Amino acid sequence: MVDYRALFRLDGRTALVVGAGSGIGAASAEALAAFGAKIIAADVDEPAARRTADSIRAAGGSAEPERLDVRSTEDVRRVLDRHGTPDALVSTPGINVRKRIADVTDEEFDRVIDVNLKGTFRLAREVGKRMAERGSGSIVAFSSIRSQVVEPGQGVYAATKAGIVQLLRALAAELGPRGVRANAIAPGVVETPLTAPIKSKPEWYKAYADRNVLRRWARPEEMATTVVFLCSDASSYVTGACIFVDGGWTATDGRFDPPL
Ligand SMILES: NC(=O)c1ccc[n+]([C@@H]2O[C@H](COP(=O)([O-])OP(=O)(O)OC[C@H]3O[C@@H](n4cnc5c(N)ncnc54)[C@H](O)[C@@H]3O)[C@@H](O)[C@H]2O)c1
């Protein structure tokens, strides 16, 4: 019989987790380590990367911190040259400038694109090339429900999150024949430092909780378990997908519960 439990194990594998210093990236690094992976915990915030690597090691796992800015191709290449080609790449860095499109400056547009879309591109290109040369690998990048549904003030962010899905689909098509899988994860609302400003406004926080069918926000570990699935052989036939981990947000229009 197939050893199904072994399919989720990551012993002997290396995972480069970028954005590992906070939120979903930190939880992903911890979860991957719990399944046996050696973690390269990378973040532009080096002390934060170090904290995640320390917490993994304290729990008996294996992790090394790295400073990596996704706005720099040189940084990406330096980390890959130092640590070799990882078996899995998880890319989480994302920033948002909440403004109506009419008010977004060229500088703000470029700033969000450079981290969210071009940052994912730089990582996926450099890591994907090397994984393809080796003939194996799994690439996971974070999109959002905003790739599909929007609200005022999310235009540029939403465009980057839709772009990430298409980028990963193209990567899946190009690298599939060479043994590399590429998938996106689209979270709903997750309690992390990124969304802390929303939590501080109770009406806004509750509106988002009520918008999904589970009537609550997600915890970062509820994203990390999907990351583990996509990085492991348990998902060996999953590529070019965008998995919505959104508590049913995009399944419903959320306007009204009719009397039944
Ligand atoms: N939290 C949510 O509700 C939510 C919802 C949908 C999608 N997402 C997406 O999930 C991803 C992770 O979100 P999060 O909530 O964990 O965010 P977060 O802000 O808690 O963590 C992001 C991490 O990325 C790092 N980072 C930022 N710029 C970087 C750069 N240039 N180079 C390297 N690292 C950089 C930050 O230092 C931070 O450690 C993002 O792409 C976000 O858009 C989050």
Question: pLDDT digits over 132-157, tens only?
Answer: 999 999 999 999 999 999 999 999 99
Question: pLDDT digits over 191-248, tens only?
Answer: 999 999 999 999 999 999 999 999 999 999 999 999 999 999 999 999 999 999 999 9
Whether residue 125 is contained in a domain is answered as yes
pLDDT (average), residues 5-29? 98
Whether residue 77 is contained in a domain is answered as yes
The angle at the Cα of 209, spanning 211 to 205, to the nearest 5 degrees, equals 115
Does position 257 have pLDDT exceeding 90, yes or no? no
Whether residue 260 is contained in a domain is answered as no
| Helices 118-134 + 155-175 axis angle, to 10 | 10
Whether residue 49 is contained in a domain is answered as yes
CA distances from 215 to 142, 188, 207 (A): 22, 12, 9
Locate the ligand 1 atom nearest the alpha carbon of residue 75 and give its number: 32
**pLDDT value of position 254:** 83
Sign of torsion, CA 138 143 147 149?
A: positive
Closest Cα to atom 32, ligand 1: which residue?
69
**pLDDT value of position 222:** 98
Residues 6+ apart with CB under 8 A from 134: 85, 179
Whether residue 255 is contained in a domain is answered as no
**pLDDT value of position 88:** 99
Domain tally, the chain: 1
The more confidently predicted of residues 34 and 254 is 34
Q: Is 191 in the pocket of ligand 1 (CB under 6 A)?
A: no
CA distance 202 to 253: 22
Q: Is 23 in the pocket of ligand 1 (CB under 6 A)?
A: yes
The structure tokens listed for 155 are 């235009």
Whether residue 168 is contained in a domain is answered as yes
**Cα of 198 to ligand 1 centre, how many Å?**
15
User: What DSSP string describes the chain?
Assistant: ---HHHHT--TT-EEEEETTTSHHHHHHHHHHHHTT-EEEEEESSHHHHHHHHHHHHHTT-EEEEEE--TT-HHHHHHHHHHH---SEEEE---------GGG--HHHHHHHIIIIIHHHHHHHHHHHHHHHHHT-EEEEEE--GGGT---TT-HHHHHHHHHHHHHHHHHHHHHGGGTEEEEEEEE--B-SGGGHHHHTSHHHHHHHHHHSTT-SPBPTHHHHHHHHHHHSGGGTT--S-EEEESTTGGGS--S-----
CA distance 139 to 231: 7
Number of Cβ within a 10 Å radius of residue 205: 17
Is the pTM higher than 0.85?
Answer: yes
Assign 82 a pLDDT band (cuts: 50, 70, 90): very high
Does position 4 have pLDDT exceeding 90, yes or no? yes
Whether residue 257 is contained in a domain is answered as no
Number of Cβ within a 10 Å radius of residue 227: 29
Question: pLDDT digits over 111-137, tens only?
Answer: 999 999 999 999 999 999 999 999 999
Question: Whole domain around residue 40: which residue ranges?
Answer: 7-247
Sign of torsion, CA 153 221 137 84?
A: positive
Does position 256 have pLDDT exceeding 90, yes or no? no
Closest Cα to atom 26, ligand 1: which residue?
93
* CATH number for the domain that contains residue 84: 3.40.50.720
pLDDT (average), residues 52-76? 98
Whether residue 150 is contained in a domain is answered as yes
Locate the ligand 1 atom nearest the alpha carbon of residue 93 and give its number: 24
**Residue written as tokens 């090397």?**
130
Assign 172 a pLDDT band (cuts: 50, 70, 90): very high
Mark whether 237 is an active-site residue: no
CA 260 to chain CA centroid, Å, is 39
**pLDDT value of position 255:** 83
Closest Cα to atom 28, ligand 1: which residue?
93
The structure tokens listed for 225 are 């378990």
Residues 6+ apart with CB under 8 A from 260: none
**pLDDT value of position 64:** 98
